[in-house]
Amino acid sequence: MFRNILSSPSNGLPLKDVISLANRRLDDARDAKTPAKALLLCGDAKALIKDAESIVNKSVGDQTFNADIANAYYEHGKLLEELGQHSKAQKSYIKAEKWGYLHVANHHSDPSQLAGPDAHTLGSFISPIALSAKPTTATAISQGMSDLSIAHVIRDHVDDEAPSKTKDQTTRGDTARAVQMIFVRDVAPSVAKFNLPEIGARITSTSQLAYCISLLHHSLESKEGFDRSESDWLKAIESDQDEQRRLRSMAVDIIRAFIRDELKTPDVVSEAVSLAAVLEQDEFQKLLRVFVDGIDQSLLLEVHLLEGLAYLMKNSLPESFDVDDLVKILELLSIRLKGVHQQSTQHTYQLALTVSRVLDSMVDSQVKGIKRKQLHEPLSQYLKNLQQSSDPRLVYQAAYAYQALQYIPDGQTILQTMLRRTGKVVIGISGVVSAVKALDLERFIDGLQDIQEGLKGAGEVISMVGNASENAMTSAENGQNLLESLKGRLSFTHKSAWYPALRGLDALLQEGRVAEFERLVRESVCRRDPAFQLGVCQRLGELAINTLWDTNTRQCAVSFLGEMYANDVLWGWHTSVKQLVLRILSKLTEFTEGDVANHAEEILQGLMQEKQHPDILLVTPPILRGSRLLDCVQNKPDVKTPLLQLKQERLKEVHDLYIFPRARASSGATETFDLTSKVREFLSSSKKVFLILGYSGAGKSTFNRALEIDLWHKYGKTDERIPLFIHLPSIEKLERDLIGERLRKANFTEKQIRELKAHHEFILICDGYDECPQARNLYTSNQLNQPGEWRAQMVISCRAEYTGADYKNHFQPTDRNNRENSDLFQEAILLPFNKDQIHDYIDQYVILRKLLWKAEDYRRALEQIPNLQDLVTNPFLLRLALDVLPQLLETNSEFSKERITRIKLYDEFVAQWIERGRKRLLEKDLSPRDKEAFRILLDSNFNQLGIIYLKDLATEIYNENEESRDNKTWKKSFFDNNDGKNLLREAIPLVRDNDQYQFMHKSVLEYGLSLAVFDPNTYAENTNLWPRSFRRGSASSVLSFEASDLKEDTATAIEQSLLVSPFGKKNLVDESSILQFLGERSQQQPLFREQLLAVIERSKTDKTVRIAAANAITVLVKAGVQFIGADLRGIKIPRADLRY
C-alpha cells in the first residue's frame, strides 16, 4: 500500500478512532462520483484497517475490536465487488472470515468472475482514450483521463506481502483486460528506405549507400524479411561481386575522406557516422579513433565530435567495441568532464550524454571490474556534483549516467542474471542491434521485479522506485519549480530499476514492438518513478517527431504523452514530467506537419497550459544533412552552393502586394478556380506543361514570381525539384539550350550544369512567351524528359491576345512519334479582378504605402470616376491607378467629372517614376564623372531626356525582337555608361537582374513604343505650325482635300515622324496593346488624328506608306472614328483590321 510506506495514515490515533476513520473512508468511497476516486478511498480504508490489525495484534488477548475489524473488511470487500473488482473483494471477505465475520460465505463471488473485473461495469467508467486504438482529441483526454486505467490503480492496493509470480502475472492479465492499449499492435520498425540503384549507377546519398550495404549484410544471415524491391535488388547484385566491392569500397573511401578532412564540420560528422553500422571492424576502429583523438587533443571541446561519438556508441553492435577501448574512452571522457567546468553547460551536457552512451555500450558488452578507486568512484562523485546544475537537461542526463555506471560494478551480476532469464539475448540489456527478438516481455518484467527485490534484499533503500513516492503531489512539491522537483526526485546514491527498464524500452522500439513498449511502461515496477517517466516521455517524443514511423503510430505516441500528463491517478503528479510533456507537445506543433501537428495541438490546448520552461531533453531525430564526402569520392561537382546563392538572390524579389488570382480552364468555361491550387495540383501530377493565358497586365508575371518564391521555400524540404524562373526574351537559344543558358546567366559552370542535367529535376517557370515571336514549341525543341535530356515540368505564360486557333501546337507536349498527348497538357485563363479582390488589394496597398489617401478615398475614386472601375479589373492598371490617383486628383474633387483613360494613367505613372528617379539621384553620392554627367542632363531637361531614352530603347527592343536576334550593335549605345546613360537607366521603369535589364512590365515597353509614334510633348509647342485644314474634326474633311491644296514639302513634314517610326515600318495590326494606346492618344490629340488621316490619304499615290496607312486606319477604327462620307477610293491598307 503506497500511502503507508511514507507514513501511517493513522499515526498516533487510538484504535477506536482508527476503525472509525476507516469506516468513514468506506462511506466516502460509496459516495464518490467516479470509480477511480472510490478505489483510492478504498485503498485508504484498507490501510487504516491494517493499522487497526497491527494495534490489536500487539494487544495480546484483547479481542474487543475483532468484530469491528471483521465488519470493516466485509464492507471493504462488498464495496470492491460493487466496483467490479471481484478478486480483491474475495481477499477482503477472507480477511473478514479470519476476524470472525459469520455470514461472509453468502457473499463470495462466483469463481468464474475472479479472473478479472466485470467489463460492463468497468467499461462505463473508462475514458475514450483507453477504449480507442486511435488517438483521441485533447478534450477527451482532459475530461476523461482521471477515470482511466482502473486496473493499474488496483495494483497499488495489493497486500504488502510480495506477490508470487502467478499472482503478479494474474494482475497483469487483469490489466490487459481492463484497459485497451493506445498502441494496439506492433508495427514495422522505423527504417529509412531509399530507391535502390541499378548496378553501376551513381549513388545519390551516403544514406542510400548505408542502406545498400546493410541489405548485403543482412542477406548473408537470412533471406527473409525483405520487401519485393529489396529482394529483386539483392537477386540482381548477388552474383556481381564487382558491384558489391564497389559499394563497400565507396564506404571505405568516405571514411578515409573523413579522416583527411581538416574541418570536420557537423554535416561531415553526421555523414561519416551514418556508415558506422555497415563498416568492417578495421574501418570502424579507424572512425572511432578519429573521434576519440579529436576529443582528446582539442583545447576546446567540439560538441559535434561528442555527438558523433555518442551516435557511434548508440547505433553500433557491442562486438564492434573492444572492452579495453571502452574503458579508455570512459577514462578520457571522465577527465574531460572534470575539466569542462569553464566551458558552457552545453559542453557539459553533451559530455554527460556521451558518457551515458559509452556506459550503455559497456553494460551491453558486459564489461566487468573497472577500477573502482581510479574511475568508478571519481566519476560517480562528479556525476553527483552535477545535480547542483541549473540546467534540468544536465541534471537528468547526469542521473542517467550515474545509474548506468552503477550497473558496471566489480563482480555484481544482478542485471546479467535478469538478462539470462530473457532467453537468447547475450549482447546486453538493449539487444538494440541484433538479438532483440529474443527479449521475452513477461520474463523481462519479472527480471525488473527481481532487480528491485534484490536491491531491497541487499538492504538498500530505493528512493523513487516501485511503490514509494508515486502518489499524488505532496503539499511541499506543489510550490516547486521544474528544476527543484527534478532534483528532489532523482537519486544519486543508489541503484534504481528505471535504468534497465528504459534500455528495455529502447530494445522494443528498435524492433517496432510498440504495443509491448506500452505494456512494459504500464506494468514496470518503476512505472510511477518520475525518472522512468521522463525517459518514457523522451522516447515518445522522439517517436512522434520521427517521420520514419507511420502517422497513426506517431499520433498514438502523442496520445500517450497526453495521458501521462492528465492521468494523475495512474501516473502520479510529478512537476518535472508534466512540464516535459508540455514542452514536447509544443515542439511537436512546431516541428511536425499534418495530422501529427494537429493532434499535438489539440492535446496541448486541452491540457492545462503552464509558462514556458527550458528543455529537459532534446527531442529530435538524427538528421543527415548532406553527402559532401560521398560527392568528393564520386568526383561530384558542388551544385548546392550555387543553388543556395540562386535561391537567396531570387528570394530578394518577394512582392509585397499579392492577391491570389482566379482562372478558368478555357474561354468558354463557366467554372472558376484558384489558380495557385490548380498549379500545385498539376505539379503533383504526371502532366508536363501548364499554360497560363491572360491579357496584358492580367498578372501572369506576378503569379509566376509568386509561384517561384513558394517553390523555393519548399525546395529541400518537401520538394527536391529545382524551381527555375526564366524570362524568355532574355534567352538567345530558346529552342536548343533553354535551361543551360539560364543557368550560365546564374554563374553555374559547365561541369555543374552537366551534373544538374544528369541527376536533378526542375520546375521551369517560363515567362513572356509572347515576347519571343520566333519561338517554337519549347518543350519539344529542348527535348525535355527525353532519355539523357533535362527532366522538368513546365509552367509557361503567354498573352491571350497572341494566341491563334492552333496555339496549343506551340505548347502541347508530344511523344516520340510526334503525336500530341493531351493527358500531359493543362491550361488556364486568368480572370480579371473581381470587386472583392480589388478591395483586398487596396487594403494591402494602403497599409504598406502609408500615404495620405485612405482606402475609402481610393474606393470612392474608383466607383465615381467614369470607366475607371472597368480599367482596374486589370491588376497592373489597378497598381498604376493607385500610384497616380492622388497626384491626378484632389481628394475632395468631383470625381464624377473626371475622365481617366489607360494612356493617361501611363503618362502620369511614367512621369512620376522619372521624377522620383531624378530626386533619388540628387540625393545619391555620385562619382565625379557621374556628377558632371548628371549636371549636364539637368541643364538639358532631365525628365524629357528620360522620356526620349525610354521611347528610343523601346523602339530598339521591338526592332530586335522582329529582326535578327544576333544583332547586338545597338545595345552598346544604350547600355554603356557614357553620356550619363547609366543615370537615365536608373530613372526609367526598368528592372535589373544581374547584367540583364528589362522593362518592369511589357505594357511599359508598348507605351514607350506608342510615344515613339506620337509624343504629345514634342508637338505641344508647335501646334500653330500645322495648317488649319489638318486641324478639322472629321475624317471626310481631310480625306476629301485636293493634293494640290498643299505643298509637297509641307505634306511630307506632316507625316514624316510617323513614317520614320515603327509605325511606318512594322505592321502593328496584331499588337492590340499598342493599338489601344495609339487609339486613346488619337482621341485626346487632334494633331495625331490628323496625321493618321493624312497618311491614309497619301497611300493613294505613294506605295511606300502602305504599312503606315494600314496601321493608321486600324488605329482610327479602334478609336471609334467614323468614315461615313469619306473618299477611300485608291487607298492602300494591306492587312488592316477594320473591325471595331
Model pLDDT for residues 234-249, shown as the tens digit of each residue: 999 998 999 999 999 9
Residues 6+ apart with CB under 8 A from 528: 466, 467, 470, 571, 572
Three-state DSSP class for residue 611 = coil
Q: With cut-offs at 50, 70 and 90, classify the pLDDT of residue 341.
A: low
Common-topology check for domains 270-412 and 637-777+791-798: no
Percent of the chain, pLDDT > 70? 76
Per-residue confidence (pLDDT) for residue 478, from 0 to 100 = 42
Per-residue confidence (pLDDT) for residue 1099, from 0 to 100 = 92
Per-residue confidence (pLDDT) for residue 548, from 0 to 100 = 86
Per-residue confidence (pLDDT) for residue 1112, from 0 to 100 = 94
Per-residue confidence (pLDDT) for residue 943, from 0 to 100 = 92
Mean per-residue pLDDT for 100-113? 49
**H helices of 777-927, where?**
778-781, 835-849, 855-864, 868-871, 875-888, 902-923
Q: In what order do the strands lie in the sheet with 825-830?
A: 672-674, 662-664, 825-830, 689-694, 791-799, 761-767, 722-727
467 pLDDT more than 70? no
CB atoms within 10 A of CB 21: 18
Q: With cut-offs at 50, 70 and 90, classify the pLDDT of residue 452.
A: low
Per-residue confidence (pLDDT) for residue 369, from 0 to 100 = 65
Task: Write out pLDDT tens, residues 1080-1100.
Answer: 999 989 999 999 999 999 999
6 pLDDT more than 80? no
Mean per-residue pLDDT for 361-390? 85
1115 pLDDT more than 90? yes
What would the grid cell of residue 969 be? 550593335
Report the range out of 39-43, 56-60, 646-650, 1121-1125 with the highest average pLDDT: 646-650
Measured between alpha carbons, how far is 455 from 458 in angstroms, rounded to an integer? 5
Domain boundaries in the chain? 3-125, 270-412, 637-777+791-798, 837-1008, 1014-1118
Per-residue confidence (pLDDT) for residue 99, from 0 to 100 = 82
Mean per-residue pLDDT for 553-576? 89
Task: Write out pLDDT tens, residues 729-776.
Answer: 889 888 889 999 999 999 999 999 999 999 999 999 999 998 887 678
Task: Write out pLDDT tens, residues 638-695.
Answer: 898 899 999 999 988 766 789 999 999 988 899 999 999 999 999 999 999 999 999 8
Report the range out of 38-47, 478-487, 544-553 with the highest average pLDDT: 544-553
Locus of grid cell 529552342: 735
Measured between alpha carbons, how far is 1121 from 817 in angstroms, rounded to an integer? 52
Q: With cut-offs at 50, 70 and 90, classify the pLDDT of residue 300.
A: confident
Mean per-residue pLDDT for 123-137? 28
What would the grid cell of residue 525 be? 515496477
261 pLDDT more than 80? yes
Fold designation for 637-777+791-798: Rossmann fold (3.40.50)
35 pLDDT more than 90? no
Per-residue confidence (pLDDT) for residue 941, from 0 to 100 = 92
Q: With cut-offs at 50, 70 and 90, classify the pLDDT of residue 440.
A: confident
> Cα dihedral angle (1093, 1096, 1098, 1102), rounded to 10 degrees?
160
Per-residue confidence (pLDDT) for residue 108, from 0 to 100 = 45
Measured between alpha carbons, how far is 334 from 336 in angstroms, rounded to an integer? 5
On whether the CB atoms of residues 172 and 523 are closer than 8 A, the answer is yes
Measured between alpha carbons, how far is 748 from 944 in angstroms, rounded to an integer? 41
Sign of the CA dihedral 353, 357, 358, 360? positive
On whether the CB atoms of residues 913 and 999 are closer than 8 A, the answer is no
* 432-441, 622-631, 863-872: least confidently modelled range: 432-441
What would the grid cell of residue 267 be? 554535416
Q: With cut-offs at 50, 70 and 90, classify the pLDDT of residue 619.
A: very low
User: Measuring CA to CA, which residue among 2, 55, 44 is closest to residue 22?
Assistant: 44
Q: Which residue has the higher pLDDT, 1074 or 131?
A: 1074
925 pLDDT more than 90? no
Q: Which residue has the higher pLDDT, 158 or 944?
A: 944
User: Measuring CA to CA, which residue among 563, 546, 562 is closest to residue 554?
Assistant: 546
Mean per-residue pLDDT for 210-221? 90
Task: Write out pLDDT tens, residues 869-883.
Answer: 888 898 988 988 898
User: Measuring CA to CA, which residue among 398, 337, 405 is closest to residue 376?
Assistant: 405
Per-residue confidence (pLDDT) for residue 710, from 0 to 100 = 94
Residues 6+ apart with CB under 8 A from 1061: 955, 1012, 1013
Q: With cut-offs at 50, 70 and 90, classify the pLDDT of residue 918.
A: very high
Measured between alpha carbons, how far is 406 from 862 in angstroms, rounded to an integer? 81
Identify the DSSP state of 1123.
-
**Ramachandran angles phi, psi of 1129, nearest 5°:** -65, 130
Q: pTM (2 decimals)?
A: 0.56
Mean per-residue pLDDT for 879-908? 76
Measured between alpha carbons, how far is 887 from 912 in angstroms, rounded to an integer? 9
Mean per-residue pLDDT for 407-419? 50
Report the range out of 278-287, 317-326, 819-828 with the highest average pLDDT: 278-287
**H helices of 511-619, where?**
514-523, 530-545, 551-566, 568-571, 575-591, 594-606
Q: 902-923 vs 1002-1013: helix axis angle to the nearest 10? A: 100
CB atoms within 10 A of CB 443: 16
On whether the CB atoms of residues 267 and 261 are closer than 8 A, the answer is no
Per-residue confidence (pLDDT) for residue 342, from 0 to 100 = 56
| Residue 568: CA count within 13 A, CB half-sphere | 13
Check whether domain 270-412 has CATH 3.30.300, yes or no: no
Q: What share of the chain is helix, strand, coil (3-state, %, to 5)?
A: 60, 5, 35
| Mean pLDDT, the chain, whole residue set | 78
